[in-house]
């Protein structure tokens, strides 16, 4: 099949110039700085998410390099204990809360509406609000960090160390509120994505035709909804313990330190799959494009995702084996942790089958997929090892675990992400990245990564606890640490080249066209970058690979009004057209609300009056946000009096 029918696809170039002009006008982006604050378009906001989280990735990476420099030699004096503790806590928190999750949700925000073939995300204003709350959380953390008030109790802030007695000052409060900000933001995005996926799929996109990435985002969103309340609740309790002397975690007054661990890990374990599952979605998206075959085992992959989502809620205790649980209970969590290897394995096998059955194009994204298989496999296998209670008792809280989770986080999530960004960059910017530099950066990242983290397994087995700011020369850990530090330099060089490639391609990259990779999903049916209305005519779908299946007589949706932001709502199961709605336009109120929320929680660090003080601007913003303006094209039942 040539590129022709695709060009003549949903976004028919020559047709409907009049329609196009009107859509252009109706959906046009808000302009200027004020417009930036008001914008509600999902590609704009998705792009913000991606760029912002990349910046946080760079910050987290720089912190990682500082830690590596400090650990390169025994008794090194580069960072003292105070700064080191702040830096590893900020590194972990940044990478988990400000980079990995927002990046995945940001890609979801950008691509889910395109992939399901609709005009905008379900609740565009909520989307704008989510972004600003996330931004405020991130800025708050880093402002505090540079004011020497960065959190220093670890990314899971175990009490009582993080409690009022052992962490006086505001450092831990900053952490707790940053959590609140990012979780509010993630929850809002999750609700938004679920609704978009349920109700806005292109006609014909029944459940069994949903693209794998969209499935992944759906499962992720559900996990967000059931996992994040746990960390919001626990960080609320911690904040209250610190601010108004409640005793949730204070054993002297009936509280319990282990309660914190249960609540945190009830969130914390699903969290790692919240990062990992979208990455698997990216892998399943990249494979068809670079093997020129539909991904093998669609049903198996979907079931694996769903199974992972469910089982993921039954594993949290495997982070707490060393607290001394009853044998039987611990064995249950070992069994559950080991069980989750089955869906992961099933996915890996399906992907290998896809590779086997495909005609491969060894371009950078595919290299990242292969690098992913290699590294994630190692990380997954060490995961199975630490799931065994006896073995975990040895390696828990050592660099072995640090190695495990960087293998799964970087190998399992960042590699697919780098591949995915390479693949989607043309769609988002209209320009191709340089393939040559892409390959160079891949090899540097891949080799540097393994050089950095492989030795950590050995260090852990040889007794090196994690979170130590230095170690004694006689421990014998120096050489492997030096090796690891050198590796992190190589890794950083690779990332730097990747970033430079992105920046320079923005200017000099070859124009991408609509569909440079001849991919199968709908985001490639429109121009690069997509127009604010996404598609001139919403597409309909007749199979799993709409772009590959596109035929001349594939129907397109007509009859949506172009003089207002109208879009199509379809049925949950079979995506049959149901009704039309009008998507709200740009407005300042979500931004104002995010400021109100920010005010509430930031003042809340200092006084319980934060709640009532912040409630006022929040209430005003909400009322203004929802007050009807009669611009939604609804029937008026009672006139304004």
Partner 1 sequence: MSPADVMTPRNALDVSGLPTTAFGSRDPLFWGVLSIMAIEGTMFALMAASYFYLRGGARMWPPPGTLHPGVGITTLNLAILIVSVIPMYLAAKAAGREDLPAIRLWLIVSTVLFVAFLVIRGVIFHRFTFRWDSHAYGSLVWTTMVLHTVHVVTGTCENLLFIALLTKGPVEDKHMDDLRLNSMYWYFVVACWIPFYCIFFLDPGLLGASIG
Partner 2 sequence: MNGPLVFLLLTNWTGGHSALHPMGPQAGHINDLWWLMFWVCAAVFVLVMVATGFAITRRSLPSGPPGPIPPASRRRMTGAVAGAIGVTVLILFALLIASVSTGRAIASLSSSKAPVIRLTGHQWWWEVEYQDPHPDRMVLTANEIHIPAGRPVLIQLSSNDVIHSFWVPNLHGKRDLIPGHDSEIWIQADKPGIYRGFCAEFCGYQHAHMGLLVIADPPDRFDAWYSAQLQSSVMPATPLQQRGRQLVEASPCAVCHSIQGTQAGGKLGPDLTHLASRRTLAAATLANNRGNLAGWILDPQTVKPGNHMPGNSLGSEDLQAILDYLESLK
The minimum distance between CB 410 and partner 1, in angstroms, equals 30
335 makes contact with ligand HEA (CB under 6 A): no
Distance of closest approach, residue 138 Cβ to partner 2, in angstroms: 24
Please report, as residue ranges, which positions from 400 to 459 form the binding site for ligand HEA (by CB under 6 A): 401-402, 404-406, 408-410, 412-414, 452
Find which of Cu ion, ligand HEA, partner 2, none residue 100 binds, CB within 5 to 8 Å per kind: ligand HEA
What's CA 233's distance to the chain center, in Å? 21
> What track of x and - describes contact with ligand HEA for positions 229 through 268 (by CB under 6 A)?
----------------------------------------
Query: Which of 563, 562, 545 has the alpha carbon at shortest distance from 554?
Result: 545
- What is the 8-class DSSP label of residue 529? S
Q: Cis ω on the peptide bond leading into residue 602 (within 30° of 0)?
A: no
Per-residue x/- mask for Cu ion, residues 210 to 249, rule CB under 5 A?
----------------------------------------
**Among 392, 515, 520, 566, which residue interacts with ligand HEA (rule: CB under 6 A)?**
392
Q: How many CB atoms lie within 10 A of CB 54?
A: 18
Q: Minimum CB separation from partner 2 for residue 536, in Å?
A: 24
Residue span binding ligand HEA (CB under 6 A) among the ranges 34-42, 122-130, 204-212, 385-393? 385-393
Q: Cβ-count burial of 129 within 10 angstroms (0-12 exposed, 13-18 middle, 19+ buried)?
A: buried
Give the count of beta carbons closer than 10 Å to the beta carbon of residue 579.
Answer: 8
Structural contact between residues 530 and 163, judged by C-beta atoms closer than 8 angstroms = no
Of the candidates 49, 110, 155, 264, which one interacts with ligand HEA according to CB under 6 A? 155
With left for phi above 0 and alpha for psi between -120 and 50, is residue 633 left, alpha or beta?
A: left
Q: Does 306 bind ligand HEA (CB under 6 A)?
A: no
Please say whether the dihedral angle defined by the alpha carbons of residues 84, 229, 270 and 267, taken in this order, is positive or negative.
positive
Residue 435 contact, options partner 2, ligand HEA, Cu ion, none, Cβ 5-8 Å cut-off depending on partner type: none
Distances (CA, A) of 33 to 37, 268, 485: 7, 37, 42
Q: For residue 35, give both structure tokens.
A: 């417009």
Q: What is the distance between the alpha carbons of residues 441 and 162, in angstroms, rounded to a whole number?
A: 39
Q: Which does 569 bind (CB under 5 to 8 A by kind): partner 1, Cu ion, ligand HEA, none?
A: partner 1
Q: How far is the CB of 280 from Cu ion (least distance, A)?
A: 16
Are 302 and 197 in contact by the 8 Å Cβ rule? The answer is no
Site for Cu ion in 257-286 (CB under 5 A): 269
> Are 311 and 336 within 8 A, CB to CB?
yes
Please report which helix (H) or strand (E) contains residue 566, including its range: strand 566-570
Residue 36 binding result from Cu ion, partner 2, partner 1, none, given CB thresholds of 5 to 8 Å by partner type: none
Residue (199 or 544) nearer to partner 1, CB: 199
Contact status, residue 372 vs residue 450, Cβ threshold 8 Å: no
d(CA 104, CA 274): 9
The verdict on 340 binding ligand HEA (CB under 6 A) reads: yes
Q: Which is nearer to partner 1, 334 or 554 (CB)?
A: 554
Residue closer to partner 1, measured from CB, 5 or 74: 5
Name the site residues for Cu ion (rule: CB under 5 A): 269
Name the site residues for ligand HEA (rule: CB under 6 A): 58, 61, 64-65, 67-68, 88-89, 91-92, 95-96, 100, 154-155, 272, 275-276, 318-319, 337, 340-341, 344-345, 348, 377, 380-381, 383-384, 386-387, 392, 396, 401-402, 404-406, 408-410, 412-414, 452, 466-467, 488, 491-492, 495-496, 499
């Amino acid at each position: 099949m040539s590129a022709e029918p695709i060009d003549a696809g949903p976004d028919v170039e020559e047709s409907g110039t009049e329609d196009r002009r009107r859509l252009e006008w109706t959906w046009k982006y808000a302009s200027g700085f004020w417009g930036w604050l008001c914008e509600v378009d999902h590609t704009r906001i998705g792009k913000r998410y991606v760029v912002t989280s990349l910046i946080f990735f760079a910050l987290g990476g720089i912190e990682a390099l500082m830690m590596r420099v400090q650990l390169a030699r025994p008794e090194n004096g580069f960072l003292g204990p105070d700064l080191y503790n702040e830096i590893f806590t900020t590194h972990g928190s940044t990478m988990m809360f400000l980079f990995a999750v927002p990046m995945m949700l940001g890609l979801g925000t950008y691509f889910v509406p395109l992939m399901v073939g609709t005009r905008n995300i379900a609740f565009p204003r909520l989307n704008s609000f989510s972004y600003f709350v996330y931004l405020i959380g991130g800025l708050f953390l880093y402002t505090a960090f540079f004011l020497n008030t960065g959190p220093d109790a670890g990314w899971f802030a175990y009490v009582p160390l993080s409690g009022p007695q052992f962490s006086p000052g505001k450092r831990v409060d900053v952490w707790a509120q940053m959590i609140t900000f990012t979780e509010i933001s993630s929850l809002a995005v999750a609700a938004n994505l679920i609704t978009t996926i349920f109700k806005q799929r292109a006609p014909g996109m029944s459940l069994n035709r949903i693209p794998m990435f969209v499935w992944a985002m759906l499962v992720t969103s559900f996990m967000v909804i059931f996992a994040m309340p746990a960390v919001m609740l626990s960080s609320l309790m911690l904040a209250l313990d610190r601010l108004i002397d409640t005793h949730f975690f204070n054993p002297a007054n009936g509280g319990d330190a282990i309660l914190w661990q249960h609540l945190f890990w009830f969130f914390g374990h699903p969290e790692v799959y919240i990062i990992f599952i979208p990455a698997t979605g990216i892998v399943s998206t990249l494979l068809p494009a670079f093997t020129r075959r539909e991904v093998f085992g669609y049903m198996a992959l979907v079931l694996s995702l769903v199974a992972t989502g469910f089982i993921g809620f039954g594993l949290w205790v495997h982070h707490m084996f060393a607290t001394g649980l009853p044998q039987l209970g611990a064995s249950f969590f070992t069994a559950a942790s080991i069980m989750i290897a089955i869906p992961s394995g099933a996915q890996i096998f399906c992907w290998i089958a896809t590779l086997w059955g495909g005609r491969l194009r060894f371009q950078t994204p595919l290299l990242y997929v292969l690098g992913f298989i290699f590294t994630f496999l190692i990380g997954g296998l060490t995961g199975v090892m630490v799931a065994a209670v006896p073995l975990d008792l040895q390696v828990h809280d050592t660099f072995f675990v640090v190695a495990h989770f960087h293998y799964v986080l970087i190998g399992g999530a960042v590699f697919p992400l780098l591949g995915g960004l390479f693949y989607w960059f043309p769609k988002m910017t209209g320009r191709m990245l340089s393939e040559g530099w892409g390959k160079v950066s891949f090899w540097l990242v891949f080799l540097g990564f393994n050089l950095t983290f492989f030795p950590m397994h050995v260090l852990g087995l040889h007794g090196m606890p994690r979170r130590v700011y230095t170690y004694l020369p006689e421990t014998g850990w120096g050489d492997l640490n030096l090796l690891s530090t050198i590796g992190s330099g190589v890794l950083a060089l690779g990332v730097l080249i990747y970033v430079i490639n992105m920046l320079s391609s923005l200017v000099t990259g070859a124009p991408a066209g609509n569909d440079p990779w001849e991919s199968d999903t709908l985001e490639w049916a429109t121009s690069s970058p997509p127009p604010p209305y996404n598609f001139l005519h919403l597409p309909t779908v007749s199979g799993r690979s709409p772009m590959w299946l596109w035929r001349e007589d594939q129907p397109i949706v007509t009859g949506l009004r172009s003089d207002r932001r109208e879009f199509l709502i379809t049925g949950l199961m079979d995506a049959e057209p149901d009704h039309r709605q009008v998507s709200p336009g740009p407005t300042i109120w979500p931004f104002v609300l995010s400021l109100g929320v920010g005010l509430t929680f930031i003042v809340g660090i200092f006084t319980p009056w934060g709640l009532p003080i912040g409630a006022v601007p929040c209430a005003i913003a909400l009322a203004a946000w929802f007050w009807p303006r009669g611009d939604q094209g609804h029937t008026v039942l009672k006139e304004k009096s």
